[in-house]
Structure 1
Amino acid sequence: MTVQTSGPAPLPQSRHLATAIPGPRSEALHAERRAQVTDGFGIALPVFVERADGGILADVDGNRLIDFASGIAVTSIGASHPRVRERVAAQLERFTHTCFMVTEYESFTQVARWLNEHTPGDFEKRTALFSTGAEAVENAVKIARSATGRPKVLVFDEAYHGRSLLTMAMTAKENPYRLNFGPFPAEIVRAASANPLRPGAGTSTAGTNNDGGAVSGADVTTAALASVEATLAEHGADAFAAMVIEPIQGEGGFVVPAPGFLKGLRDIADRHGIVLVIDEIQAGMGRTGTLFASEHEGVAGDITLSAKALAGGLPLSAVTGRADLMNAVHAGGLGGTYAGNPLACEAALAVFEAFEDGSLLANARSIEAAAREVLEPLATETDVVADFRGRGAMLALEFADRDTLAPRADLAKEISARCHAQGVLTLTCGTHGNVIRLLPPLVIGHELLRDGLAVLRQAILDVAAEAGARTAEASAPALA
């Protein structure tokens, strides 16, 4: 049987504005959305997409937008990768669903095999597949509790782990994720993270230590790890089943932990018999220039979580971990009706094929090099860019007043809006909402990337200049 998957001609990989953003057709469809869909769903840009390909989103008004979001790190190999289309179309001809807990299919096992072979950790592994990232996090907690017989879970400042009730308890940001949704599950304990720009316990203010000197990465790591130990001691270290950490904190602001923090957590977990769960849901699957972001730190979790880019846009998540932990759960204790859906499994196998030659990982590193060249100088060229950070194609700019580091969410919002008006899709994030994050697809072309970066850079320069002018005007002495 031959499956036709050629599809329409590729989209031109160039930015094009046919109308204002959003255009009239998008505005009409957005009005219909408001009439039909709960207001509980937010929206970054009210544009209705008709097609997507490579680094371009084409909307219903004929505009072509540069995609610096990738569906929040999901379409890393592009939103219409030909191999994903081929595999999913072929599976669609066979069957769409049987439920792996009822009757089995080989693609589920093949996905598990690949993850067991490629996830960090020199030990025998097993994998369980689910549908969403939050589902993976919750099942990791279930597995850790089953294996250890302990109840508590340690999480960290600036963490984001999902929108389900348990993962909301594990998430740090109150608004919009936790607001009005409590009470939350108990036995979740939060500890300090190792944010190099905004150090937590053991330092007085961000950027300076208690003696007024600059805080080094080693200082931040030492203080944060001491805080973790103190938190465990306060709550009883032998009561903790798991500690769950993102190797780069996503929604919290794309925070790259100070050097040695993850290794220190690995040591603490080993000393206390705690399961170290590394949440690679956003940072994994090649996003940072390695298959998994924890590889940059030379650390392997006892359990590693994957989702988002795992299946090229189809819902799939995975919990991969030490065989003894994963097999500690009784038969029937894990599962889900849609867990490891066969269409999603085929898409994941296509994603794995796309990574085979190493070019996508190289592209991620090239994206970082280009973005650093264009954007990193803004930290000294303006008074509002407090930090440029990230790895690979997971990058961010944090906006704050230079002297006080007071967060400037207003500037991040305005800069992002100006990018949107010029046909460049950017997203904001961060505990204070003052971070613009960049998540371009790993297949984005060099010229398209450069175009988007130039638009973003100019928006930052313009907004910074206007903010500086307002500050100068406000501080000028009144005329007699």
Structure 2
Amino acid sequence: MVQTESRTGSQPGAIPQQRVLRTELPGPRSRELAARRSAAVAPGVSSTLPLYIDAAEGAVLVDVDGNALIDLGSGIAVTTVGHAVPAVVDAVRDQVGRFTHTCFMVGPYEGYVEVCEQLNALTPGDHDKTSALFNSGAEAVENAVKIARRATGREAVVVFDHAYHGRTNLTMALTAKNMPYKDGFGPFAPEIYRAPMSYPLRDPSGMTGEEAAQRAIELIERQVGAARVACVLIEPVQGEGGFVVPAPGFLPALADWCRANGAVFAADEVQSGFCRTGAWFACEHEGVVPDLVTTAKGIGAGMPLAAVTGRSEMMASVHAGGLGGTYGGNPVACAAALAGIATMREGNLGAAANRIGETIAGRLDPLVAELPGIAERRGRGAMQALEFVKPGTLEPDSAAAGRIAAACHAQGVVVLTCGSWGNVIRLLPPLTISDALLDEGLGVLIDATRTVLAG
């Protein structure tokens, strides 16, 4: 039984890797905190779970009432190496004891340099690269646009249907979905142009990746003009937009067009990077080498950290002082990142992601065949999703996805919804999750799906 006295940072093994429900969800302490929250926290900040977390380890979250939940969300792909990994905890403790902040722009430190060295080595391509560190994925994306504009002397930025790139003014403009991300927050930054994404489930039957790319390119050339494009920015596997995996050939064709026309090809790997899809970066599955790569989430092993990594000559186009920020590349976050990257290497977590993906496919594909309300299972590695539709159609069924997610939460399994219509359930388990815990979590999802769709 989980001990409610356990805290994050306890000795490894303090939290058993099992699901335990001691109260109804939410329990009495969570309900007390919810009442306090309503008076103290802005209502614009929402939460998926109606309960409050007290401790976490591995792939288990423990709430303030002692309930232990299976985490199939990883804080939206952040705790890729698991919660409270000893190497990360030790690295953070050590760094906090030495110093927590100087601002790299004032007094630099080795950890920042080492993280950049790791990024330059790990990201796709053997060309010379440099990196800059920031706080969040949105901040990294915004700086990638700055770099691309400076390097090319152009202004136009091309993004795609269903894209999600963040919540700042510029990244809201880059993001496709209005509610809840953009509604009422305009006007937005100019010179942003949207092209059709390769979405195999919803594209014309038989459309290849190359054909989908040509559809996008024709729109870009006609409505924007190739000579005006600073960068084409794309998620190699879309995240918030529904875990959309473009058809093979789509990404390479776009990258080739960028090279031929002097535009920057920028890959937003904020959610898909760091072993999540079975490779260090999702671009690698098709051998695509971006000019710029943005990273966050999994890079920090739970700490806030983000980066832009790119061709040295592009990164060098920005004048001294043009990039940076007070907290960007914070030394504690850098220490966590270095320990997390070492954990990924030592545990071969890319292979683990592929095994997780195979397990999910093996459990969920028969469910897709069984239930007409599921359009498909899709994804790469440990980045998997189910899209729900009205039976016999491709009409999105967001209500079903929401009810299924809520049913999972009530049984102590954390899953997340996403998609342009909110009709997709996404699975992002820690790559260190045990086979037994993953199997149990998937069993709860399967039972909830059958119950909701049968009803």
Please classify the TM superposition score into its range, dividing by the shorter chain length. over 0.9
| Match of residue 445 from structure 2 | 456
Q: Once the 2 structures are TM-superposed, how far is the Cα of residue 229 of structure 1 from its aligned partner?
A: 2.7
| Match of residue 212 from structure 1 | none
Alignment of 1:323-334 (within 5 A): 323-334=312-323
Alignment of 1:341-356 (within 5 A): 341-356=330-345
Q: Once the 2 structures are TM-superposed, how far is the Cα of residue 217 of structure 1 from its aligned partner?
A: 4.8
Structure 2 residue corresponding to 1:216, chosen from 203, 206, 209: 206
- The answer as to whether partners of 1:365 and 1:392 remain within 8 angstroms in 2 is yes
2:185 is the alignment partner of 1:195: no
Q: Which amino acid aligns with 1:60?
A: V
| Match of residue 4 from structure 2 | none
* Greater mean deviation of Cα atoms: 35-44 or 226-235: 226-235
Q: Once the 2 structures are TM-superposed, how far is the Cα of residue 9 of structure 1 from its aligned partner?
A: 4.5
Q: Does the residue aligned with 2:178 lie in a helix, a strand or coil? A: coil
Q: Once the 2 structures are TM-superposed, how far is the Cα of residue 354 of structure 1 from its aligned partner?
A: 0.5
2:220 is the alignment partner of 1:231: yes
Q: Once the 2 structures are TM-superposed, how far is the Cα of residue 351 of structure 1 from its aligned partner?
A: 0.8
Give distance in 2, aligned partners of 1:95 and 1:357: 27
Post-superposition CA distance 1:217-266 (Å, at most 9, x none) = 51x54034223233233211111101100010000000000110000111
| TM-score for the superposition, normalised by structure 2 | 0.96
Post-superposition CA distance 1:186-235 (Å, at most 9, x none) = 00000000000112xxx4xxxxxxxxxxx1251x5403422323323321
Q: Does the residue aligned with 2:193 lie in a helix, a strand or coil? A: strand
| Match of residue 274 from structure 1 | 263
Q: Does the residue aligned with 1:437 lie in a helix, a strand or coil? A: strand
Q: Once the 2 structures are TM-superposed, how far is the Cα of residue 294 of structure 1 from its aligned partner?
A: 0.8
- The answer as to whether partners of 1:229 and 1:268 remain within 8 angstroms in 2 is no
Give distance in 2, aligned partners of 1:413 and 1:116: 40
| Match of residue 182 from structure 1 | 186
Post-superposition CA distance 1:299-354 (Å, at most 9, x none) = 01100111001011111001000000001000010010001000000001001110
| Match of residue 387 from structure 1 | 376
Give distance in 2, aligned partners of 1:346 and 1:147: 31
Q: Which amino acid aligns with 1:288?
A: T
- Tell me how many residue pairs correspond in the alignment: 447
Q: Once the 2 structures are TM-superposed, how far is the Cα of residue 268 of structure 1 from its aligned partner?
A: 0.9
- The answer as to whether partners of 2:132 and 2:307 remain within 8 angstroms in 1 is yes
Q: Which amino acid aligns with 2:146?
A: K
- The answer as to whether partners of 1:192 and 1:228 remain within 8 angstroms in 2 is no
- The answer as to whether partners of 1:120 and 1:301 remain within 8 angstroms in 2 is yes
Q: Once the 2 structures are TM-superposed, how far is the Cα of residue 404 of structure 1 from its aligned partner?
A: 1.9
Poorly superposed stretches of 4+, deviation over 3 Å: 5-9
Alignment of 1:380-419 (within 5 A): 380-419=369-408
Describe the shift of the 1:411–1:221 C-alpha distance in structure 2 as closer, same or farther (beyond 3 A): farther
Post-superposition CA distance 1:415-473 (Å, at most 9, x none) = 0111011110111000000000001101111100000000001111111111xxxxxxx
Give distance in 1, aligned partners of 2:375 and 2:210: 20
Give distance in 2, aligned partners of 1:97 and 1:348: 16
2:354 is the alignment partner of 1:365: yes
Give distance in 1, aligned partners of 2:212 and 2:76: 32
| TM-score for the superposition, normalised by structure 1 | 0.91
| Match of residue 364 from structure 2 | 375
2:77 is the alignment partner of 1:87: no
Q: Which amino acid aligns with 1:316?
A: L
Q: Does the residue aligned with 1:189 lie in a helix, a strand or coil? A: strand
- The answer as to whether partners of 1:159 and 1:246 remain within 8 angstroms in 2 is yes
Give distance in 2, aligned partners of 1:234 and 1:48: 48
2:239 is the alignment partner of 1:250: yes
Q: Once the 2 structures are TM-superposed, how far is the Cα of residue 357 of structure 1 from its aligned partner?
A: 2.7
Describe the shift of the 1:387–1:114 C-alpha distance in structure 2 as closer, same or farther (beyond 3 A): same
RMSD between aligned residues: 1.1
Post-superposition CA distance 1:380-414 (Å, at most 9, x none) = 10110001000111100000023221000000000
Q: Does the residue aligned with 2:233 lie in a helix, a strand or coil? A: strand
Give distance in 2, aligned partners of 1:124 and 1:9: 42
* Greater mean deviation of Cα atoms: 227-236 or 362-371: 227-236
- The answer as to whether partners of 1:305 and 1:318 remain within 8 angstroms in 2 is yes
Give distance in 2, aligned partners of 1:302 and 1:224: 18
Q: Does the residue aligned with 1:319 lie in a helix, a strand or coil? A: strand
| Match of residue 50 from structure 2 | 46
Give distance in 1, aligned partners of 2:308 and 2:357: 28
Structure 2: give runs of 5+ residues left out of the alignment. Answer: 1-8
Q: Once the 2 structures are TM-superposed, how far is the Cα of residue 358 of structure 1 from its aligned partner?
A: 4.8
Structure 1 residue corresponding to 2:410, chosen from 418, 421, 424: 421
| Match of residue 435 from structure 2 | 446
Post-superposition CA distance 1:9-54 (Å, at most 9, x none) = 4211111110111111101101111110000001111111110011
Q: Once the 2 structures are TM-superposed, how far is the Cα of residue 94 of structure 1 from its aligned partner?
A: 0.9
| Match of residue 159 from structure 1 | 163
| Match of residue 172 from structure 2 | 168
| Match of residue 420 from structure 2 | 431
Q: Once the 2 structures are TM-superposed, how far is the Cα of residue 8 of structure 1 from its aligned partner?
A: 6.6
- The answer as to whether partners of 2:196 and 2:215 remain within 8 angstroms in 1 is no
- The answer as to whether partners of 2:213 and 2:253 remain within 8 angstroms in 1 is no
| Match of residue 144 from structure 2 | 140
- The answer as to whether partners of 1:217 and 1:259 remain within 8 angstroms in 2 is no
Alignment of 1:98-117 (within 5 A): 98-117=102-121
Describe the shift of the 1:428–1:6 C-alpha distance in structure 2 as closer, same or farther (beyond 3 A): closer
| Match of residue 101 from structure 2 | 97
- The answer as to whether partners of 2:242 and 2:424 remain within 8 angstroms in 1 is yes
| Match of residue 131 from structure 1 | 135
Q: Which amino acid aligns with 1:353?
A: A
Q: Does the residue aligned with 1:238 lie in a helix, a strand or coil? A: helix
